[in-house]
Amino acid sequence: MTSNRTTVLAGHSSTNATLFHRCRFLVGDSSVAIDFADGTSTFLVRDIEMDRARKTVRADRIACAADFTPEGGLSGDRDTALAQATAECLRQAGESTITVDRSLPYLYAHFIQEAGISINYSADFGVLERRIKDAEEIENLRLAQKVTGEAMTYACQTIARATADQDGLLHHDGAVLTSERVRAMITSFLLERNFSNSHGSIVATSPHVADCHHYGTGPLRTEIPTIVDIFPMDNGTRYNGDMTRTVVHGTPSPEALKAHAAVCEAKAAGCAALKPGTTGEAVHLATTDVLKAHGFTLVRGNAEHDQRLPFMSHGTGHGIGLEVHEPILLDHGGGEIFENELFTVEPGLYSSTLGGCRVEDMVLVTATGHEIISPLYEGLDWKD
């Protein structure tokens, strides 16, 4: 966090999550939030957006570029003019040094420095403020995860209730059921509920599932596990859901059942380890210790035979909020965890021949431990 420093956030709130978190104002053009060291604040936005901003943005002054015209005038380019006005606003306030985060566009840095103002980069600015969620944010994430769970039920039941042909390929509504079709069905389901799925969804089976972030391609098959990972954004709040389940059409193999049992136990251990004052690394170790105890490895093997054995090669989870992936990681080197942070806990095992298994939930860190947000069925059989 920053203190006793004037800070500047600038850019498009539709893509700059820290700026949106600060102003809670969605606008198609650039905007700027300046928080002065004396406790006052100014929000710069396009002139036609000022009235709307005054109803929403928490700032002492709402202004536009024309309110801070420098001596040489403003550029005819809208973004350049706002950057010039930002520098002039800081100059008029007598600022000599400001603090910015990683997202400040160079356009702003150029005019601020040209005005003789030094820029101090802070790796922490905006990070902790976004990590610890307030009550409104937690409710936004509850809703996002609830709808994500509904989409997950729809997708997994579609796969489980499909019909297998003599070659083991799954069919739905008269056509082969592919990863691509299920992803399109998920997106359509979410759009009807005012959710965006701009990053797509993962619907992956072997052999592609050996790459844990492969989106999947081609026909789905009976008796082979399919990982479904859905991570959409609520268009109304801009907060994200993130959930993964594994589904098997038909009868799971003994290997799939063993891997699934180990993953579910590992997830439970990771959730139980989540509490204020512990670390992301400790949570990860609690998860991976379970997988090791079941005889699974955490690295991909080198030999062709080893490539087929189930392995886990990623961390246990990550923070979530206005972005799907937010600090901190539940992984080696993961730092201290605080009350009212939300994380995903998502152990998985992956094999190019046996298929993969991942089970993921969103988890709130409470004063005494954890709460799974919108819990959902974890089994492999989704027919009912």
Rounded distance between C-alpha atoms, residue 336 and residue 133, angstroms:
15
Tell me the average pLDDT across 360-369.
Answer: 96
Q: Are residues 154 and 96 in the same domain?
A: no
Is residue 24 in a domain?
Answer: yes
Q: Nearest to residue 157, comparing CAs of 327, 380, 314, 325?
A: 380
Q: Within this chain, do residues 242 and 299 fall inside the same structural domain, yes or no?
A: yes
Domain boundary among 130, 145, 171: 130
Whether residues 319 and 262 share a domain: the answer is yes
- CA-to-CA distance for 273 and 284, rounded, in angstroms? 9
Structural domain that includes position 67? 7-130
pLDDT, tens only, 215-262: 999 999 999 999 999 999 999 999 999 999 999 999 999 999 999 999
**Residue 322 in tokens:** 């206005």
- Are residues 28 and 169 both part of a single domain? no
Specify if 177 maps to a domain.
yes
Say yes or no: 111 and 175 in one domain. no
Token pair of 89 as six digits: 């606003």
Residue 151, phi-psi category: left (phi > 0), alpha (psi -120 to 50), beta (remainder): alpha
Residues linked to residue 231 through DSSP beta bridges, in sequence order: none
Q: What value does the mean pLDDT take over residues 141-165?
A: 98
**2 is a domain residue:** no
- Mark residue 8 as left, alpha or beta (left: phi above 0; alpha: psi -120 to 50; beta: remaining): beta
Q: Is the pLDDT of residue 302 over 80?
A: no
| Mean pLDDT to the nearest integer, 181-204 | 96
138 and 106, same structural domain?
Answer: no
CATH of the domain at 79: 3.40.350.10
Q: Residue 49: inside a domain, yes or no?
A: yes
Question: Nearest 5°: phi and psi at 121?
Answer: -85, 135
Amino acid occupying residue 68: F
What pLDDT, on the 0 to 100 scale, is given for residue 313? 86
Give the sign of the dihedral formed by CA 312, CA 196, CA 198, CA 340. negative
**316, 281 Cβ separation under 8 angstroms:** no
> Would you give the DSSP letter of residue 224?
S
Q: For residue 354, is pLDDT > 90?
A: no
| pLDDT above 60: residue 303 | no
Domain identity same for 233 and 253: yes
Among 210-214, 221-225, 285-289, the minimum mean pLDDT is found in 210-214
Residue 380 lies in a domain: no
Residue 346 sits in the same domain as residue 262: yes
* Average pLDDT score, the chain: 94
State residue 310's pLDDT score.
84
Residue 301: band (very low, low, confident or very high) from pLDDT cuts 50, 70, 90: low
Query: Lowest mean pLDDT: which of 191-205, 290-304, 329-343?
Result: 290-304
CA distance 116 to 250: 69
Burial 190-205 (b: 16+ CB within 10 A, else e): beeeebebeebbbbbb
Q: How far apart are CA 273 and CA 282, in angstroms?
A: 7
Q: Which two tokens stand for residue 9?
A: 């956030």
Q: What is the pLDDT of residues 311-342, one digit of tens each?
A: 888 999 999 999 999 999 999 999 999 999 99
Interval 91-139: pLDDT, tens? 999 999 999 999 999 999 999 999 999 999 999 999 989 999 999 999 9
* pTM score of the predicted model: 0.92
pLDDT of res. 3: 53
383 part of a folded domain? no
* Interval 354-373 mean pLDDT: 95
At 298 the pLDDT is 79
Q: Do residue 163 and residue 261 come from a single domain? A: yes
Share above pLDDT 70 across residues of the chain, in percent, rounded to a whole number: 96
| Residues 159 and 31 reside in one and the same domain | no
Say if residue 1's pLDDT is above 50.
Answer: no
Task: Tell me the per-residue pLDDT of 53-88, one tens digit each, with 9 for 90 and over.
Answer: 999 999 999 999 999 999 999 999 999 999 999 999
* Residue 382 maps to a domain: no
* Domain limit, last residue, from 93, 110, 130: 130
Task: Based on the fold, state whether residues 140 and 179 are members of the same structural domain.
Answer: yes
The Cβ-side half-sphere exposure at 194, using a 13 Å CA radius, reads: 8
161 belongs to a structural domain = yes
**Is residue 113 located within the same domain as residue 237?**
no
Q: Of 130, 146, 177, which residue sits at a domain end?
A: 130
- We report the CATH number of the domain holding residue 153 as 3.90.230.10
Domain count, the chain: 2
Whether 4 has a pLDDT exceeding 80, the answer reads no
pLDDT of residue 353: 85
